[in-house]
Amino acid sequence: MQKIILILFIGLFLGCAKYQLYDIDFTQKHFSVEIDGVMHILYISKNDGYNFAIFDTFGVPKANKVLKDGVFESTKFLPRDSFYELLFIESLEMIDKDIKHKDFVLKDKRIKMVEL
């Protein structure tokens, strides 16, 4: 019985991951994001938290989330996808380190991100 409780506790602890809190001074940023050759536009604004919205070339939203207190929350009725959360964290790291262009691989997808 104790093993089951321990396993449940560890599963709960690992499932509630928080992201690093950033304190970056900006109001709004725009990025061109190429994911496996498909272009997207990423908008980030900072209010009470960090607001992220990513759209494909037809203007269809792929993800719309808010990062507040280290936790992402969806602001629209879009499917949950942790890929975009990791992409949003990468964009915050670019802003924090003042990087204008970055090529990287994220979950087996080639990403090219350029600040506009």
Determine the pLDDT at residue 78: 78
CA separation for the pair 57, 46 (Å, rounded): 24
Model's pTM, two decimal places? 0.76
- Position 47 scores a pLDDT of 84
pLDDT averages per 10-residue partition of the chain, 116 residues: 54 48 70 95 90 92 89 82 91 90 94 95
- Per-residue pLDDT, 12: 44
Determine the pLDDT at residue 16: 45
How crowded is the C-beta side of 11, counted as CA atoms within 13 Å?
Answer: 6
3-state secondary structure of 93: helix
pLDDT number for residue 21: 55
* Residue 6 C-alpha from the chain's centroid: 31
For the chain, the straight-line distance linking the first and the last C-alpha, in angstroms and rounded, comes to 56
Cα dist from 57 to 29, 49, 62, 76, whole Å: 18, 26, 11, 19
Q: Which residue ranges make up each domain of the chain?
A: 20-115
- Each residue of 23-44: b (16+ CB within 10 Å) or e? eeeeeebebebebeeeebebeb
